[in-house]
C-alpha cells in the first residue's frame, strides 16, 4: 500500500513539483556557499594582516571502548611555504549520552624566521560536551588541557576552551558553523591567544565531509595583540 507523502516530501520523485523543489534547494545551497566564500576569501586577501591557508584531514574509527580520532594539518604562508605541520591522535571515551573525554598525543613542527623548524610534543586530555539544541542551533563545547614540550624552550601547560554553534542552511545539506576558542598559557600566566571561526560544511557522502572557513587568530605578543587571517579547508573521514 502506497503511503501518502509527508510534509516537505514529494509524492513522486519525477513529478514537476518535486523537481522544482530540488532545483530551489540546489540554488539556495549554491547561493549560500557562494555568499559565504565571497565574504571569507576577500577578507583575508585584502587585509593588511598576514594571511595563511590551513588544510586538515581528520578521521575517526569506533572501537569497543571508544572512538579513535586522528588529524593531520599543514599551514601555508601567502607565498605557499609550509610554516607548520602537525599530527595528532586522541582516544575519546563516552561518559553518558552527551559527554566524551580521553587522552591524546600531538607532534608539531613550526618554522622559525631563520627557516629552521622546531619540534614540539604535546600530551593532552580532551573533553567534548554536546549541549543540545536551541531552536535550529546545535551547541557543543570542547575543552583541552595540554602539556607542551617545545625544543629549546621551557615546558608549560596550556588550557583551551571552544564553544561552537551549527545550524542547517535552509533545506540544503550545508551547515553554517561559528566558534570562538580561548587559550591560557601557564608559562606566562596569561590569556595569550584567541580564535574566531566562521564557515560552512557539508557531507559529501556517508563517510566524508568538507568544511570551508575563515578564521581570525589573535596572539598576545609583548603586551599587544597581533592578528593573522586564515582561509581553511578541512576534510573529515569516518
Say yes or no to pLDDT of 29 above 90.
Answer: no
Domains plus CATH for the chain?
16-237 (2.40.160.40)
Residue whose C-alpha is closest to residue 87's, from 116, 119, 52: 119
Residue whose C-alpha is closest to residue 54's, from 71, 39, 38: 71
Written as nine digits, the cell of 89 is 591522535
pLDDT in tens, 115-130: 899 999 999 999 999 9
Average pLDDT over residues 62-77: 97
Written as nine digits, the cell of 197 is 571561526
Predicted structure pTM score: 0.79
Residue 44 pLDDT: 47
Q: How far apart are CA 103 and CA 101, in angstroms?
A: 7
Average pLDDT, the chain: 86
Bridge partner residues of 155 (DSSP): none
DSSP string, 2-57: PPPP-TT--S-TTSHHHHHHHHHHHHHHHHHHHHHHHHHHHHHHH-SS-EEEEEEE
Amino acid at each position: 500500500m502506497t503511503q501518502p507523502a509527508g510534509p516537505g516530501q514529494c509524492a513522486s520523485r519525477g513529478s514537476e513539483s518535486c523537481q522544482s523543489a530540488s532545483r530551489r534547494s540546489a540554488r539556495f545551497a549554491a547561493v549560500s556557499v557562494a555568499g559565504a566564500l565571497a565574504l571569507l576569501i576577500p577578507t583575508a586577501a585584502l587585509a593588511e594582516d598576514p594571511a595563511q591557508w590551513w588544510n586538515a584531514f581528520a578521521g575517526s574509527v569506533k572501537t569497543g571502548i571508544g572512538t579513535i580520532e586522528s588529524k593531520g594539518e599543514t599551514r601555508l604562508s601567502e607565498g605557499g611555504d609550509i610554516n607548520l605541520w602537525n599530527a595528532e591522535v586522541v582516544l575519546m571515551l563516552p561518559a553518558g549520552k552527551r559527554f566524551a573525554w580521553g587522552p591524546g598525543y600531538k607532534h608539531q613542527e613550526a618554522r622559525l624566521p631563520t627557516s629552521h623548524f622546531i619540534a614540539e610534543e604535546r600530551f593532552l586530555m580532551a573533553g567534548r560536551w554536546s549541549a543540545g539544541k536551541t531552536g535550529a542551533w546545535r551547541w557543543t563545547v570542547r575543552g583541552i588541557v595540554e602539556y607542551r614540550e617545545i625544543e629549546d624552550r621551557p615546558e608549560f601547560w596550556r588550557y583551551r576552551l571552544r564553544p561552537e554553534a551549527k545550524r542547517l542552511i535552509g533545506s540544503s545539506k550545508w551547515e553554517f558553523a561559528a566558534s570562538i576558542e580561548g587559550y591560557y598559557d601557564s608559562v606566562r600566566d596569561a590569556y595569550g591567544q584567541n580564535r574566531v571561526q566562521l564557515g560552512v560544511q557539508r557531507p559529501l557522502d556517508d563517510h566524508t565531509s568538507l568544511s570551508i572557513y575563515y578564521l581570525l587568530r589573535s596572539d598576545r605578543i609583548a603586551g599587544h595583540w597581533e592578528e593573522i587571517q586564515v582561509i581553511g579547508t578541512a576534510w573529515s573521514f569516518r
